[in-house]
Amino acid sequence: MPMRVRFWGVRGSFPVPGPTTMRYGGNTSCVEVRLEDPQAPRIILDAGTGLRRLGKEMMQEAFGRGAGEAHLLVTHTHWDHIQGLPFFAPLYQRGNRFHVYARQRNDTHLRAIFATQTENPYFSVPFDAAAAHVQFTELSDHAAFEIGPVRVRCTRLNHPWIAIAYRLDYEGRSLAYVTDTAPFRDILIEQQFISQPPRPGEPLPPGDAAKLAAMRQGVVALCEGADLVIYDTQFTPEEYATRPHWGHSCPEDAIEIAAEAGAHALVLFHHAPERTDSQIDALLQQHRAEVARRKLPLVLYAAAEGLELVVGAQQDVPAQVMAR
């Protein structure tokens, strides 16, 4: 049975509604994964502002009757990846069941992070007002577990306060979701704020270089042979050169990882909020041409709200998304 991926939010950092972002969309990260089996679990990757619209659609189904169950895999708890949760309508419907997963932190519990964002004076409805049952699971960097028939694996990413990537395997089909991460060559980003960026290309301390090499190998292994890889490509190389400490990659980095892993298709994701539809068109054209020039067996897409892809199948992107 196929695994279908639908994009509800594709931007990084903050939402950007407006005339220059209408085709690709302005909501922050949220991706839905559905299996053809109606009894199979609903899986959601990240809870950015795109989660609000997904929730409205889910309320037209079993979730509106308080009979829904879904699993939310959170890469990390930066604002743009969780800010949709307080506006997620199924959360307030008694009887619904949600399983929320994210990386374990040393300083606080996962539930406390989500509860804090709705505390007074930041929000009018406390997290405890959620009528649905919510179960939290804290993960290690290399956790592996099952969600029904779906096998899930994780690996660590190079991002402030640490993010993790996910791989979903189901009946011979595979999806890797890799956001947010910097490349693994210029700076090791851990649980600290780095105010002064290094100059890309400077030698790294041996310990940092070893950690980054292991981290990169973990990402390549997670993407190995994947039918579809969704990867953080927020920066151009020029933008990255001035902000390597922000924890984001370029399309060139994503292509390198996907090609080395032998992945079949790559989705450029977590678009910079300042990037217009036309600029994303140009970046996609540029990198499709580069992939063709290098004769890489890699299909390239750019994530857009409403875009639905069948994992493991080659498909045309809808004309309204790719209109030139």
Q: In what order do the strands lie in the sheet with 133-139?
A: 133-139, 97-103, 69-73, 42-45, 30-35, 3-9, 308-310
Provide the H-helix boundaries in 88-148.
110-116
Mean pLDDT within 96-122: 91
Does the predicted TM-score (pTM) go above 0.85?
yes
Domains identified in the chain, total number = 1
> In this predicted model, which residue has the larger pLDDT, 38 or 30?
30
> In this predicted model, which residue has the larger pLDDT, 97 or 198?
97
pLDDT band at 241; cut points 50, 70, 90: very high
pLDDT band at 75; cut points 50, 70, 90: very high
pLDDT in tens, 140-187: 999 999 999 999 999 999 999 899 999 999 999 999 999 999 999 999
| Average pLDDT over all residues of the chain | 94
Provide the residue range defining the domain that includes 197: 3-322
CATH number of the domain within which 123 lies: 3.60.15.10
Give bridge partners of residue 11 from the DSSP assignment: 28, 271
The helix/strand/coil state of 223 is helix
What pLDDT score does 68 carry? 96
pLDDT in tens, 248-269: 999 999 999 999 999 999 999 9
